[in-house]
């Protein structure tokens, strides 16, 4: 079964994206990744993936997931539930979203995964947002923000395997690239 994990964009949603108008014009609207002076490799289009249920966590650490399930080349997603709760573009969305601990980000990078996906505004908040994205990009890991509907892949479990298809727009010279992400539920177990 296929699930569209892309936040649906509407004119109202774009209008409600408070304080982010300039960034939205260069690719930061909705589901996207921050380019960080890198190019998304075509082989990242289709990746084996795992999603972790981390709803209710403000700072997501290594101890909150089964890190051994994240393997080289994978798309690793985090279902926080925050985007649905706070709403896209709200003040809460920008300032209070959950974040991955620095230790977890480093551990994922050390495992040489391909993509970190999250259903909120980023893996870190505020002034730590851009350096975290740059650290990941410098190690060939892309961060996809504002995923939608990850809970459908979980099916009541704490983690679930799936296949992630990530199709970024072919923009050049911008700081963010919108993308469409589709998750395909797998029959394989973790």
Q: For 16, list phi and psi in degrees, rounded to 5.
A: -75, -10
Q: Which CATH number fits domain 14-180: 3.30.565.10, 3.40.630.30, 3.50.30.50, 3.40.1160.10?
A: 3.50.30.50
- Per-residue pLDDT reduced to its tens digit, 149-160: 999 999 899 999
Q: What is the 3-state secondary structure (H, E, C) of 114-157?
A: CEEEECCCCCCCHHHHHHHHHHHHHCCCEEEECECCCHHHHCCC
Confidence category of residue 20, pLDDT binned at 50, 70, 90: low
Q: Which of 121, 101, 105 is nearest to 113 (CA)?
A: 105
Domain boundaries, the chain: 14-180
- Per-residue pLDDT reduced to its tens digit, 83-138: 999 998 888 988 999 999 999 999 999 999 999 999 999 999 999 999 999 999 99
């Amino acid at each position: 079964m296929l699930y569209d994990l892309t936040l649906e964009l509407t004119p109202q949603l774009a209008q409600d994206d408070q304080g982010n108008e300039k960034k939205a014009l260069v690719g930061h609207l909705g589901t996207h990744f921050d380019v960080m002076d890198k190019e998304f490799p075509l082989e990242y289009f289709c990746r084996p993936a795992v999603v972790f249920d981390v709803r209710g966590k403000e700072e997501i650490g290594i101890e909150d997931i089964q890190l051994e399930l994240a393997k080289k080349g994978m798309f690793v997603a985090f279902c926080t539930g925050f985007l649905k709760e706070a709403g896209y573009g709200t003040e809460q969305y920008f300032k209070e979203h959950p974040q991955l601990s620095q230790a977890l980000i480093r551990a994922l990078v050390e495992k040489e995964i391909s993509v970190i996906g999250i259903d909120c505004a980023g893996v870190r908040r505020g002034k730590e947002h851009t350096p975290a994205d740059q650290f990941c990009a410098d190690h060939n890991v892309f961060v996809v923000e504002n995923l939608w509907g990850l809970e459908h892949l979980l099916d009541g479990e704490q983690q679930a395997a799936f296949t992630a298809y990530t199709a970024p727009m072919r923009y050049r010279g911008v700081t963010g690239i919108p993308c469409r992400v589709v998750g395909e539920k797998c029959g394989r177990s973790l």
